[in-house]
Amino acid sequence: MTAYTEFLTPSLREVFDFHASHPPPTPTDVYNQQNVVLMGRLDRRPAVAKVFWPGAAGCARAERQALGRFRDLGLPVPRLHAAGHLNLPGQPRCPALLLERLPGIPLSHTLADAPSWLPRAAGAQIGRLLAAQAHAERFPPPTRDDPRVGVVRAGWQRLADRAAATLCDQLGVPAALLDRMAALAGRLSDPPDLGWVTHDWRLRHLLWHDGRLTGLLDLEYAKPADSMIELANLLHDLMLNLPARPRQQAAAAILDAYQQQHAIVDAERLRFYLARQACNHACVKYWQGARDTRLQQELRLFRRYLDTTDPLTLLTAPAPAHQPASASSPRPTHWQRRGTADAPAA
């Protein structure tokens, strides 16, 4: 394969042959600030062009760095053929990566109605890879702005400052729940060190082919962070997207494999990051205009994570039945059904 180690503002047609079903992107694809991912061929071999919107050069650099580091760790990430800029219609010099196209189907398409062996097999492989990623390279924790306030607590406060009005005024979340999150964050000690975290391990970013995990995609948010974030984000994705039985099987297999690799699961820290992820997702969905049952599901999970004293059992046990809320109402009714009286402080 030709070594396109660097390239500068060619047209896409000069280096990349599109599949007929994937024409070059339009200006709208770029202006909506979503990455443009195009399937095609590079030197007659399957490849992917991942094009970032012009303001996301930092994300392109982060993904490029993570691809090299993660390949060194043995994680199944695509090979980087080239990195530079590409011209798109109406938008020149977009940061872009030309990547190997890995075989496989996203696990989000296969696990929901899979035979029981598949969630267990996939979960075991995922758990081992997560543990390997957590242990492979360690970094010192960030310096505290205020020695009296831990990094975990400060991170939650930044999210609360940005999202409290949306959560309480628009989504009907009792302020007492945010107080409980602040109290939980305040009790957690800072991690002694940090590891590589993509912040985006999700079923749709994991490829499965011929009985094995063949791909981990979308590393643009990778940076040193608390390794428990990665595990919590993936387990939350299972809670959101899988029926009870495959979710229970996959979560149990992930946790078993993760701990067998001597990666300790701090249940209280896991509980906090699960709740934070659900809270953050609910706000993002609302800001993006969602008013559907997916937003309601995030809010239900936020409260369930806060209310549990045993997140590991919650993750590996069947979910209780519930009546979906109406997608037509802009204000969730879950809190009114439960009542606004908060549970005892955690």
pTM of the model: 0.82
Q: What domains lie within the chain, and their CATH numbers?
A: 6-100 (3.30.200.20), 105-338 (3.90.1200.10)
Query: SS3 for the chain, per residue?
Result: CCCCCEECCCEHHHHCEECCCCCCCCHHHHHCCCCEEEEEEECCEEEEEEECCHHHHHHHHHHHHHHHHHHHCCCCCCCEEEEEEEEECCEEEEEEEEEECCCCEEHHHCCCCCCCHHHHHHHHHHHHHHHHHHHHCEECCCCCCCCCCCHHHHHHHHHHHHHHHHHHHHCCCCHHHHHHHHHHHHHCCCCCCEEEECCCCCHHHEEEECCEEEEECCCCCCEEECHHHHHHHHHHHHHHHCCHHHHHHHHHHHHHHHHHCCCCCCHHHHHHHHHHHHHHHHHHHHHCCCCCHHHHHHHHHHHHHHHCCCHHHHHHCCCCCCCCCCCCCCCCCHHHHHCCCCCCCC
Rounded average pLDDT per 10-residue block, the chain, 346 residues: 44 56 48 67 82 86 91 90 78 84 91 87 94 82 61 89 95 95 92 87 93 94 90 96 93 94 87 96 92 93 95 81 42 33 35
pLDDT at res. 142? 67
